[in-house]
Amino acid sequence: MWKFCGTAIICVLLAYLPGAVLAEEVSKEQIKGLDEQVQEIKSEALGIAAALSGLEEKLLHPSNTQLSLFVALAEDDDFRLDAVEVQLDGKVVANHLYTFKELEALQQGGVQRLHTGNIRTGQHDLQVTLIGKSPGGAEYRHTADFTIEKGIGPKLVELVLAGPGANTKSISKKDW
């Protein structure tokens, strides 16, 4: 029966010895070799992604008509953003429901590209509606209207959203 005891101790000790569970048929060298090939493929795929991204921009959103809308959250604001809707010249161009991961990414300082489209040069009406919940759990909805001026180059607009308790405006626009 001491064999059982021995097995128990070995099991426990194995837990902090690295790589002890691997079967013989799959060697470290095989794993490493395959891993390196996967890395090469990933690198090539990243190159394709970059080239396709450039091609997409040229074909679908040339700089003279390009409009990109970005969404960020105000710093240290813990309200829960549920959804954002954006209307451009009275038409809904973006409507996004946030997952928990997306919300966390925004809270950690990430900036979401909500919409990329094409507009003519000149003035355009922009209406932004946010729906969320305050830290206390109350429903929170706010709409703000802006005017954007589209010039010859690409137009980048950042929308900074804040909760009801924040010192800043609920929705503020920043032209880049």
Partner 1 sequence: MFSRIMCLLGVGFATSCFAAEAPSGELKDLFFGEALYYAHQGDYFDAIARLDAELWQHYGLDDPELDSFYFHVNQAEFSVGDFELSYRMHRRAGRAVEAVLEGNVDEAVRNEAAYRLARIYFQKDQPVNALHALERIQGRVPDRIRDDLSFLRAQVYMATGRFAEAAKILEPLQRADGYAGFAAYNRGIALLRDNEQTAGIRALDQAGQVRGTQRGTLAIRDKANLVLGSKLLDGDRPEEAKQFLERVRLQGPFSTRALLGSGWADASAERYERALVPWSILAKRNVTDESVQEALLAVPYAYGKLGVYGKAALGYGSALEAFGGEIDKLDRSIKSIREGKFLEALTREELKQDKNWMVKLRSLPEAPETYYLMQLMASHDFQASLQNYLDLEALRKRLVVWTEDLDAYEDLIAVRRAYYEPLLPDIDAQFRRLDSRMRLRMEQRDRLDERLQAMLISPRPGFLATAEERVITERISILEEQLKNTRVSEKILHRIRRLKGLIHWRIHTEYDQRLTDAHQHLRQLDGIVEDLRNQYTSFVRTRQAATQSYQGHETAIRQQRRRVRDVREPVKNLMARQGHMLETMAVNELERRRTRLEEFQIKARFAMADSYDRATKAQADREAKALAEAAKAKASSEAEERSTGEAEAPSEPPGESAAQ
Candidate list 61, 88, 91, 106; residue touching partner 1; CB under 8 A: 106
CA 135/CA 68 separation, integer angstroms: 30
CA 102/CA 19 separation, integer angstroms: 35
- Rounded-to-10 torsion of CA 61, 89, 176, 151: 70
Touching partner 1, residues 6-25 (CB under 8 A) = 7-9, 11-13, 15-16, 18-19, 21-25
Residues with Cβ within 8 Å of 96's Cβ and at least 6 positions away in sequence, in order, are 71, 83, 84, 85, 112, 114
Residue 139 binds partner 1, judged by CB under 8 A: no
Candidate list 29, 137, 152, 167; residue touching partner 1; CB under 8 A: 152
3-state secondary structure of 102: helix
Q: Is the CB of 106 or the CB of 162 nearer to partner 1?
A: 106
Q: Is the CB of 26 or the CB of 138 nearer to partner 1?
A: 26
Cα 166 to chain center, whole Å? 23
The span of 35-43, 83-91, 128-136, 140-148 binding partner 1 (CB under 8 A) equals 35-43
Tokens of residue 165, six digits:
């308790």
CA 156/CA 122 separation, integer angstroms: 14
Residue 51 binds partner 1, judged by CB under 8 A: yes
Residue 97 binds partner 1, judged by CB under 8 A: no
Binding site for partner 1 (CB under 8 A): 1, 4-5, 7-9, 11-13, 15-16, 18-19, 21-26, 28, 30-31, 34-39, 41-56, 58-60, 62, 64-65, 68, 70, 72, 75, 101-102, 104-106, 108-113, 121, 152, 156, 158, 176
